[in-house]
Amino acid sequence: MLRRFRGLSLAWQVLGITAAVCVTVTAAYMAVFSAYSERAALAQAEAALRTQVGLVRGTLDLAYENGRARAERQVDLFIRLEQGVPKPDGSSATLGATPAVPTLRLRDQVVNGSTRALEELRALTGAEAAVIVRKDDRFVRAATLLKDANGQPLHGSVLPATDVIARALAAGKPATEMVVRNGRQYAIHVRPLVDESGRVYGGLTARIDLSREVEALAGALARTPVGATGYAWVLAPGANADAGRFVI
């Protein structure tokens, strides 16, 4: 082929070389353009994903802040309705299965085992409150609306040391957390009760059921595709770095 090419006239040789150069340049241009287009498409997709993730995060932050504020207000309302906070009277008695539980009183009424104030708050706002009392280095439910599998009140039940309520009271600082109970999402606020020496003797808690808000958010996310076929998921961390659970 090279011998035939040399036998061509100069004009045809120039034309052939020019054509070959044009084909080579065009192929190189198309390769560069394709790579650039792919990178541009990826960058555009990444920017869109970042925007949508930011919107989801902002919505979750708003839902969290709203739930936290509502739970905190319920404890404040409980205190106003009861015109004070429960205080130990120096005595103790068996409560549920736990012996020698310190007795709390509020306006001369025994709080331990009483659900009157808790039921009034639930009827008024839907929030579930509880009163916790300290026994030695553990925390016990003095009054609660929670019941066991047999429908019996959990008055006198000891909180696990890892429970969000026990951890907040042990630290002696108010805390608000999102928790899952029986598959439902709640915002729970924990307010320590301290004596004149600054020692935590118990606490007040209020939890708000956020299931309706979470379901509404899940519906909104389901109607918001990511790109052409993707959808957003919300994961919560598990007990370790290798575990997690789907929130939405």
DSSP string, the chain: -HHHHHTS-HHHHHHHHHHHHHHHHHHHHHHHHHHHHHHHHHHHHHHHHHHHHHHHHHHHHHHHHHHHHHHHHHHHHHHHHHTS--EEEEEEEEETTEEEEEEEEETTEE-TT--HHHHHHHHHHS-EEEEEEEETTEEEEEE-S-B-TTS-B-TTPBPPTTSHHHHHHHHTS-EEEEEEETTEEEEEEEEEEE-TTS-EEEEEEEEEE-HHHHHHHHHHHHTS-BTTTB----EEE-SSTT-EEE--
Residue 168 tokens, joined? 């907040």
What pLDDT, on the 0 to 100 scale, is given for residue 122? Answer: 95
Q: Given pLDDT bands bounded at 50, 70 and 90, which one contains residue 173?
A: very high
Average pLDDT over residues 154-162: 96
Highest mean pLDDT among 45-59, 60-74, 103-117, 215-229: 103-117
Mutual orientation of helices 10-82 and 211-222 as an angle, nearest 10°? 170
Q: Which residues pair with 98 in a beta bridge?
A: 95
pTM for the whole structure? 0.70
At residue 14's C-alpha, the angle toward residues 11 and 18, to 5°, is 140
Task: State residue 5's pLDDT score.
Answer: 43
221-244 pLDDT, tens digit per residue, is 666 666 666 666 666 655 555 544
pLDDT value for 140:
98
- Over residues 133-160, the mean pLDDT reads 95
pLDDT greater than 80 at residue 57 = no
Measured distance CA(131)–CA(110) in Å, rounded: 12
Q: What average pLDDT does the structure give for the chain?
A: 80
**How far apart (Å, rounded) are the C-alpha atoms in residues 184 and 182?**
6
Torsion of CA 75, 78, 82, 88, to 10 degrees: -40
Single-letter residue type at 232: A
Task: Quote the pLDDT of residue 179.
Answer: 82
The partner residues of 138 in beta bridges, in order of sequence, read 135
pLDDT digits (tens, 9 = 90+) for 90-138: 999 999 999 999 999 998 899 999 999 999 999 999 999 999 999 999 9
What integer is the mean pLDDT of 184-199?
Answer: 92
| Residue 2 pLDDT grade (very low, low, confident, very high; cuts 50, 70, 90) | very low
User: Would you place residue 64 in the very low, low, confident or very high pLDDT band (cuts 50, 70, 90)?
Assistant: confident
Length of the chain: 248
Give residue 147's pLDDT band: very low, low, confident or very high (50, 70, 90): very high
DSSP assignments along 40-56, one per residue? HHHHHHHHHHHHHHHHH
